[in-house]
Amino acid sequence: MAWTTTTPVSIRLATRGDAPALAELVRSSVTGLAPSCYPEPHVQAWMSVLPTMEQFRQRLQESQRTTWVACCCENGDEDDDTRFTANIVGFIEFVGNKAVEQEPSISGYIDCLYVAPTHARHVVATSLWRCLKAETESWCHAYVTDASEVARPFFERQRFDIVKRQERSIQGVLIWNHRMELNIESA
């Protein structure tokens, strides 16, 4: 199912063929957006642990993981259905288990949300989140994520609460993010 937004963006499920674009998008997002929130040593440490193209291919095959991509073609032919396949400008990865929807406390984990620096703050992240939520809200009662300092304001605007600040060492550099949660039943 492809979602259409008010911006020239279409949301669709990712395929294994998207792996190279996802790996590149993460790299460009971290190098283009993270320096506004993290010092250079932190950005370099973060870069050292980013998923590779092959790791994305493997992730896209995991049965409990769903990835939606936002595709854009700024100068494409609007009547051409292939216009949204070449330019991935954002993606969101969700790990959840619809099979256990009887479980009243089921939650889903937003593993990744990345947007290309050229499309940051242009409704791409919001469109991805709305798609994920629409597809999962019938069975997912809480959403959890580990948001970077870059993503934290976005999740706060979506009514996620900060549960705690987390720190971890990557190549001897202490980097932080925020465990955030949105409980649908209390939101």
How much of the chain, in percent, has pLDDT values that exceed 70? 82
Residue 40 CA: distances (Å) to CA of 16, 45, 76, 149, 152: 32, 9, 36, 14, 19
Q: Any idea what DSSP says for residue 50?
A: P
End-to-end CA distance of the chain: 27
Residues 112-147 have pLDDT tens digits of 999 999 898 889 999 999 999 999 988 888 999 999
Residues 6+ apart with CB under 8 A from 45: 170, 171, 173, 175
- Distance, in Å, from the CA atom of 146 to the CA atom of 44, rounded to the nearest integer, reads 19
Residues 50-75 have pLDDT tens digits of 999 999 999 999 888 999 999 986 55
pTM: predicted TM-score of the whole model, two decimal places: 0.85
Under the banding of pLDDT at 50, 70 and 90, the label for residue 6 is very low
